[in-house]
């Protein structure tokens, strides 16, 4: 294996991987101090770093076309102490749909830091890895709450609060949670939906604070329903959460239609998931999620089942 001398640690070819995430309840309000419940996904992203002889930093062999991605790579390299003269190629692959609210940016951020740490022979502590990944995610999303990166790093199902300090607690479901994810609308930009909601909430705190608080109450109710194995109550909390997210202005007609359709086809609850403004919905299945997924799947609007196991 060749390594390359130069500023900062030398590099050797290496890879890093991370899964995605699904927010069950609490997105957006979590940015404003309320709790959220999220689950890690096994689908994810793998990043491979290959050192170069020159100082270029390329993505799949070409200069990064996306300025945010170039910035993310620069932040990650900086966190690993790699001087700007240290060139390398970044290859990105994976099976996570991009920019639909399933954590592709968080997954990429964690995988990138893991890959660069492995390539430079650094052994990062859990905290240093988390801090670096949160900083990298900021390149994509501006001022994220950290729920996505934290979920990806911890795995499983958990309760998140932005803090400071950030807080994650594993949640143990009394019964398996059978979900269907429907990618219902075009790609979205989480940074934009978070930023414009923040502007509205700052301009009119009296209008938006009660909505965020109500979402927080639904998240608390949902946790107790999950721990009691009460699927009906969890489903109702999810559907009410969608109504509040819609009131916050982060849903779209395609997401609303998909939610209505899921409820009409037997889901116990349904809501948008992630940043909204496009992307995916999540529906809670009363029984076999494969059957509900088959009823909701159609060309151009894929639906797939997902199970959060009981423990």
Q: Catalog residues that contact ligand MEV under the rule CB under 6 A.
A: 23, 27-28, 30-31, 101, 141, 144-145, 147-148, 190, 194, 274-275
**Measured from the CB of residue 27, what is the shortest distance to ligand MEV in angstroms?**
4
Rounded to 5°, angle at Cα 89 from 84 and 94: 125
Question: Of 77 and 161, which has the nearer Cβ to ligand MEV?
Answer: 161
Phi and psi based region of residue 155 (left: phi greater than 0; alpha: psi -120 to 50; beta: remaining): left
Residues paired with residue 307 on neighbouring β-strands, in sequence order: 178
Cβ nearer to ligand MEV, comparing 9 with 161: 161
Q: Is the CB of 190 or the CB of 285 nearer to ligand MEV?
A: 190
Q: How far apart are CA 239 and CA 251, in angstroms?
A: 13
Closest approach of Cβ 78 to ligand MEV, in Å? 22
Q: Closer CB to ligand MEV, residue 48 or residue 273? A: 273
Which residue's CB is nearer to ligand MEV, number 31 or number 124? Answer: 31
Q: Does residue 144 contact residue 194 with C-beta atoms inside 8 Å?
A: yes
| Residue 49 Cβ vs ligand MEV, minimum distance, rounded to whole Å | 26
Cβ at position 167, least distance to ligand MEV in Å: 14
Please, which residues have CB within 8 angstroms of residue 103's CB and are 6 or more apart in sequence?
A: 19, 20, 21, 22, 41, 96, 148, 151, 152, 274
15 touches 49 (CB < 8 A): yes
**Residues 65, 299: Cα–Cα separation, whole Å:** 30
CB nearer to ligand MEV: give 9 or 19.
19
Task: Work out the burial of residue 264: count CB atoms within 10 Å of its CB; fewer than 13 is exposed, 13-18 middle, 19 or more buried.
Answer: exposed
Choice between 198 and 301, CB closer to ligand MEV? 198
**Closest distance of CB 93 from ligand MEV, Å:** 22
CB nearer to ligand MEV: give 31 or 73: 31
**Least distance CB 137 / ligand MEV (angstroms):** 8
* Shortest Cβ 50–ligand MEV spacing (Å): 30
Q: Which residues of 181-208 are buried (b: 16+ CB within 10 A; e: fewer)?
A: bbbbbeebbbbebbeebbeebeeeeeeb
Give the shortest CB-300-to-ligand MEV separation in angstroms: 23
Distance CA 89, CA 235 (A): 45
Structure tokens at 228: 């009691």
């Amino acid at each position: 294996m060749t390594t390359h001398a130069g500023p900062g640690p030398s590099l050797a070819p290496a890879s890093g991987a991370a899964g995605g995430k699904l927010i069950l309840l609490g997105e957006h309000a979590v940015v404003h101090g309320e709790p959220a419940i999220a689950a890690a996904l096994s689908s994810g992203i793998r990043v491979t770093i290959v050192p170069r002889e020159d100082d270029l930093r390329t993505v799949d062999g070409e200069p990064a076309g996306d300025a945010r991605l170039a910035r993310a790579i620069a932040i990650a390299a900086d966190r690993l102490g790699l001087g700007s003269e240290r060139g390398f190629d970044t290859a990105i692959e994976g099976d996570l749909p991009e920019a639909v609210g399933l954590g592709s940016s968080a997954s990429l951020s964690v995988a990138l830091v893991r890959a660069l740490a492995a390539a430079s022979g650094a052994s990062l502590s859990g905290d240093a890895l988390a801090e670096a990944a949160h900083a990298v995610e900021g390149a994509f999303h501006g001022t994220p709450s950290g729920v996505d990166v934290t979920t990806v790093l911890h795995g499983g199902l958990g309760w998140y609060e932005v803090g400071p300090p950030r807080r994650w607690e594993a949640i143990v479901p009394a019964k398996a949670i059978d979900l269907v994810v429907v990618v219902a609308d075009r790609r979205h930009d989480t940074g934009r939906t978070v930023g414009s909601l923040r502007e509205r909430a700052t301009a009119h705190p009296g209008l938006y604070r009660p909505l965020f608080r109500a979402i927080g109450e639904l998240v608390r109710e949902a946790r107790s329903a999950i721990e009691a194995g009460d699927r009906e109550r969890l489903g109702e909390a999810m559907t009410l959460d969608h109504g509040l997210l819609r009131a916050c202005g982060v849903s779209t007609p395609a997401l609303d239609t998909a939610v209505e359709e899921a409820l009409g086809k037997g889901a116990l609850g349904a809501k948008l998931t992630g940043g909204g403004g496009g992307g995916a919905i999540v529906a809670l299945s009363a029984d076999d999620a494969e059957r509900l997924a088959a009823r909701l799947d159609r060309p151009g609007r894929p639906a797939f089942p997902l199970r959060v196991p009981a423990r």
